[in-house]
Structure 1
Amino acid sequence: MTGRTEQVRFRSPGMAWDLAGVLHLPADFDEDGSYPAIVSVHPIGSCKEQTAGNVYAKALAEAGHVVLVFDASFQGESGGQPRLVEDPAQRVEDIRVAIDHLVTLPYVDADRIGGIGVCGGGGYVISATMTDRRIKAVTSITGVNFGRLSRESFSQYAPIAVLEQMAAQRTTEARGEDARVDDFLPESVEAGKKAGVDDIDMLEATDYYKTDRGRTPGGATSATFSRRAAAVGWDAFFDAELLLTRPLLVVIGDKPGGFGAYRDGQEIYGRAASEDKRLLVLPDTSHYDLYDQPEPTGKAIEAAAEFFGTHL
């Protein structure tokens, strides 16, 4: 059975803009009922209509949960200026704001809230779980620590040099010049290969985001360069040995790629203080297979539904 969806907009007191979200509701939804709820967090450069929404939120709602997926601040249909900012601290705060909205809904059981995230969203929801005790269980799907990625391959392993460039660009923009916006991906798989790109994650990301396979208006795959400095100094897994005590499910594929989900999944599983934690490594599976390919996403969804069914 397929549940229904509702478009929502919400903000926390003191916040200057709305977040735009979609509530995925169970097929047998009853407004007088009481349901466990899950916040679903989209990848870097993605949006609520892509994998975090149309795959994972949809399936977990079908499993009986109320699931809220939303566009990050400065992205998609959410507010915030300047546009296309990827700020990890704000992304984590967005998750808290989404929970603020969930706990106001009369049919949500505030003691049964979980979090799930895909790619960079997996790192963000893990970070949020460490400091927001309202999240009772967390699942990372091919999760990536965007801080680590920003310091390494996204800066060509020269983070100080890139920070100098970002600082100079921000000064230029403060003096009235246009913002520099960079696309994370080539225009097409063919263009990427022609330019010498051979990394499985870059090529499969391009196939997902730049074709009808996954392309949607809100999935910009780009970011304002001068505002990416915050990510270079951030770490999704900081203090996980002390603070990440909630039940944890990590799902990764066994095909490593340049975005590092295989490495990051192994790391957070080992470091987490959680007494109840599980690492699911899917064979012959890549990072982007876990975005939308039926067999691997089916296995990930089955594991997540069982996990949340147990812990929520």
Structure 2
Amino acid sequence: MTERTERVSFRSPGMDWDLAGILHFPADFDENGSYPAIVSVHPIGSCKEQTAGNVYAKALAEAGYVVLVFDASYQGESGGQPRLVEDPTQRVEDVRVAVDHLMTLPYVDADRIGGIGVCGGGGYVINATMTDRRIKAVTSITGVNFGRLSRESFGGYDPIGALEQMAAQRTAEARGADPRVDNLLPASVEAGREAGLTDIDVLEATDYYKTGRGQSAGGATSAVLSRRAAAIGWDAFFDAEQLLTRPLLVVIGDKPGGFGAYRDGQEIYGRAASKDKRLLVVEDTSHYDLYDRPEPTRRAIEAATEFFGTHL
């Protein structure tokens, strides 16, 4: 089946830059028709060409949806300065801006909009769904609460110490110093093992992002240290008991890793106010298996297709 896509760019009046996206269309797409649509949100350090696009957007388009996947602000082909910034508040606003763009398309049914996200994108799209009532149903694929992750392992389990370091670096940059850019992954799986790294998520992230398996020019596994403070004070799941009322599907693997998707998936499933909420735990599956491995992603895609078919 030949996939039909279109490269697009769009901006919010509140931003001074464009977001770069790709629309994925059903094979039998008719521009005079009316279609349910889904915003697909990429992981931390990823881009629109990777798992959120070439796996989940592609599959959902084949199932009959118009799917918009886009690069986050400050990343990939989207605008925003400085580069290599992962700002959770902006990431959530990017989701709203993507929904804005869908609302301008004459072939999109404004009453049938869904959201899906992978890894950090799962946390972001859940958070956006809490406060943007245009999103009628949401799916998290091995979703991670980036705020919790930043306070814990990404912050060395010393959030105050990390914030002090970030503050000092930001002051130095304000006085003319060059930005400090940290590599978040080792150069290779072998280098990681030689350095004593054993966590399944770190090693499998390296295998995905730094080999031909998933490597893409738009993806970045590095970050500007001085701009990471915003994440430490953020929580993807804040007030989910009251605000997360939309139907929710959470997909996780049963192999826990250091990034915490198994833990976060269980937590948001338990806390969500949604009357229709579903938890799929895929057996013998890790976080990065749900990025592109055929059998785990097949299970996730089938669940998401059935879920969105019920609610959109």
TM over 0.5: yes
* Percent identity for Structure 1 against Structure 2: 86
Q: String of CA shifts for 1:78-120, please: whole Å, max 9, x gaps.
A: 0000001100000000000000000000000010000000000
Amino acid at match of 1:294: P
Q: Say if 2:242 is the partner of 1:231.
A: no
3-state SS of paired residue (1:135):
coil
In structure 1, the partner of 2:123 is 123
Instruction: Name the CA shift for 1:279/1:291 in 2 (closer, same or farther; >3 Å).
Output: same
Q: Are 1:270 and 2:304 matched, yes or no?
A: no
Task: Report matched runs for 1:17-32 at 5 Å.
Answer: 17-32=17-32
Q: How does 1:273-312 map to 2 (within 5 A)?
A: 273-312=273-312
Q: Which amino acid aligns with 1:128?
A: A
Query: Following the alignment from structure 1 to structure 2, what is the Cα–Cα distance between the partners of residues 113 and 2?
Result: 24
Q: In structure 1, what residue type is equivalent to 2:164?
A: E
Aligned to 1:109: 109
- Report the equivalent of 2:154: 154
Distance 2:251 2:212 in 1: 26
CA displacement 1:117-139 (0-9 Å, x = unmatched): 00000000000000000000000
Counterpart mapping for 1:1-312 below 5 A:
1-312=1-312
Supply the distance in 2 between the matched residues of 1:274 and 1:236 (Cα, whole angstroms): 16
TM-score by length of 1: 0.99
1:208 Cα deviation after fit: 0.2
AA partner of residue 83 (structure 1): R
Amino acid at match of 2:110: A
Mapped to 1, the partners of 2:12 and 2:205 lie a distance apart of 33
Secondary structure at the counterpart of residue 136 of structure 2: strand
Task: Report the RMSD for the aligned CA atoms in angstroms.
Answer: 0.5
**Which structure 2 segments of 5+ residues have no match?**
none
Q: 1:72, 1:205 → 2: CA distance? A: 19
Structure 1 counterpart of 2:5, one-letter code:
T
Provide the rounded CA distance (Å) in 2 between the counterparts of 1:109 and 1:176: 49
Q: 2 CA distance for matches of 1:113 and 1:38?
A: 6
Structure 1 stretches of 4+ with a deviation exceeding 3 A read: none
Q: TM-score, normalised by structure 2?
A: 0.99
Task: Give how far 1:14 is off.
Answer: 3.2
Maintained 8 Å contact 1:2/1:26: no
Counterpart-to-counterpart distance in 2, 1:56 and 1:4: 14
Contact kept? 1:3, 1:28, Cα under 8 Å: no
